[in-house]
Amino acid sequence: MRFFFDFFLVFSSAMKEDFLQYLWKFKKFELCNLKTTQNEDLILHHVGVHNINNSGPDFFDARVSINGQKWAGNVEVHIKSNDWYVHNHENDSSYDNVILHVVWEDTVQIFRNDNSIIPTLQLKDYVEPELLVQYNMLFEDRARRWIPCEKQLPDVSEFIISNWQERLYFERLEQKSILILELLRKSSNNWEAVLFKLLFKNFGLKVNGEAFLSVANSLDFSEVRKCSQSLIQLEALFFGQSGLLESKVPHEYVVNLQKEYSYLKTKFGLDPRGVIPFQFFRLRPPNFPTVRLAQLAMLYFKNDQLFSKVIHVNNIQEYYDLFKVNTSEFWESHYTFGKESKKTKKNITKSFIDLLLINTIIPIRFIYAKNRGIHPEEDILSLISQLSYEKNNIIDKFITLKTPMNNALHSQAMIQLKNEYCDEHGCLRCQIGNYLLDKECKPV
């Protein structure tokens, strides 16, 4: 008992309010024989609806009985009851309908405006010590851990992780939808134009993604359509707007590009100001912006109505066939305008197409289906599960922790987990964290 008394003292000082909200929301405390701090009988009927993003009490529309009297209203959660006054709730009318004050430690009585006492439940009297030990295990020494649960994760069942991965993946899709919906709004729902901008962004990868998007934003898609019958015009349009045609290179191909761009700039009134300069440093030559722009030009030269094709493709192999394009002849022996290299075909590789499918094609298919009132989850899961998982530092680390990693659904899910939960110490919002908190453990 002495251990738990000391532990409670230490734990109380490190207590976070979101943990108390978790305890209340999921009823992680003894529900029988509850008493308020005024020694009134308390029966919990409904914890209420968690108010996550808005101001006001933490839970709306809760229902309890106190000494046989039923109450319906709101619940506020604090570490100590005097936090009510620290947060100035006594001056906020949105707290007038609070029927129960849930605290870890009751330090002072709280009164309504009519001077009646707001009933208080002191949770530390009803929470199992084992749960506190588990919580402490997740959050102790977290600054020195890659993720809070890295010691326990290898022992979590694959069933628990796999179920959570599917939800995490759709969370990530919803986040990617934000940019797509914004681009749709700005383009008056021009799906072809939105696909063009997304492809441009993702051809730039992480290093040049925003720079590539700035090029796409500097063009009206109608201008791309008007040039799509001529590869040299498409290349001139893309290279010229990117600011890559300003150097003097004595090659017929480069001179022709410069002439075409000068003509197109006047014809369309093109303005390259605002375009972000590309980065070449530390990129592998196949990922140089010059090569990727040449591939984009060939893709749009060979495919009219690309969005329609993307939406109506039925299997992964058709996507590989659609996107497996190369470059014009000049780029077979160049990575930049000024230096010749060994001649080689520069096709878009399967691994790069996988990245386009993960970051562009599947998200836009997801949004397009939802906008048409179709539930695309089954179709999306089928596509993403056929793609190989990504290889990066996050995925490599999760593999060492024995996390299931069989396809791109798993890798996308774990990237979402790391960025949105682990890095934010959001264990209480995480199914793995909830599972670990529920596990029985012995005091040490």
> From CA 83, how far away is CA 77, in angstroms rounded?
9
Task: Compute and round to an integer the Cα radius of gyration of the chain.
Answer: 29
> From CA 313, how far away is CA 323, in angstroms rounded?
12
> From CA 401, how far away is CA 153, in angstroms rounded?
7
**Could you please report the per-residue DSSP string of 43-104?**
EEEE--EE--SSSS-SEEEEEEEETTEEEEEEEEEEEETTHHHHTTGGG-GGGTTEEEEEEE
Torsion of Cα atoms, 61 then 65 then 66 then 69, to 10°: 100
pLDDT at position 141, please? 63
pLDDT at position 142, please? 64
Please answer whether residues 227 and 260 qualify as being in contact, where contact means their C-beta atoms are separated by less than 8 angstroms: no
Q: Which amino acid is at 17?
A: E
Q: Which of 59, 367, 322, 338 is nearest to 183 (CA)?
A: 367
pLDDT at position 130, please? 85
| Residue carrying structure tokens 């109380």 | 12
Helix and strand tally (H, E) in the chain? 19, 7
Cα 312 → chain centroid = 27
Cα 13 → chain centroid = 32
Buried b (16+ CB within 10 A) or exposed e, 59-68: beebbbebee
> From CA 20, how far away is CA 169, in angstroms rounded?
28
> From CA 384, how far away is CA 247, in angstroms rounded?
42
pLDDT at position 247, please? 82
Q: Which of 152, 161, 134 is nearest to 22 (CA)?
A: 134
pLDDT at position 4, please? 43
> From CA 410, how far away is CA 338, in angstroms rounded?
42
pLDDT at position 363, please? 97
Q: Which of 123, 40, 28, 47 is nearest to 78 (CA)?
A: 123
* Cα–Cα distance list, 257 to 221, 262, 348 (Å): 20, 9, 22
Tokens of 295: 């591939």
> From CA 151, how far away is CA 172, in angstroms rounded?
25
Q: Where along the chain do its domains lie?
A: 2-127, 128-186+349-444, 208-303+328-347
In this structure, the number of other CB atoms found within 10 A of the CB of residue 209 comes to 16
Query: From first to last of its 444 residues, what are the pLDDT tens digits of the chain?
Result: 434 444 444 445 557 899 999 999 999 999 999 999 999 999 999 999 999 888 899 999 999 999 999 999 999 999 999 999 999 999 999 999 999 999 999 999 999 888 899 999 999 999 988 888 888 888 776 667 899 999 899 989 999 999 999 999 999 999 999 999 999 999 999 999 999 999 999 999 999 999 999 999 999 999 999 999 999 999 999 999 999 998 888 899 999 999 999 999 999 999 999 999 999 998 999 999 999 999 999 999 999 999 999 999 989 999 999 999 999 999 999 999 989 999 999 999 999 999 999 999 999 999 999 999 999 999 999 999 999 999 999 999 999 999 999 999 999 999 999 999 999 889 999 999 999 988 744 433
Residues 6 or more apart in contact with residue 168 via CB below 8 angstroms? 412, 413, 414, 416, 417
- Report the predicted TM-score, pTM, of the whole model to 2 decimal places: 0.83
pLDDT at position 122, please? 97
DSSP state for residue 357 in the 8-state scheme: I
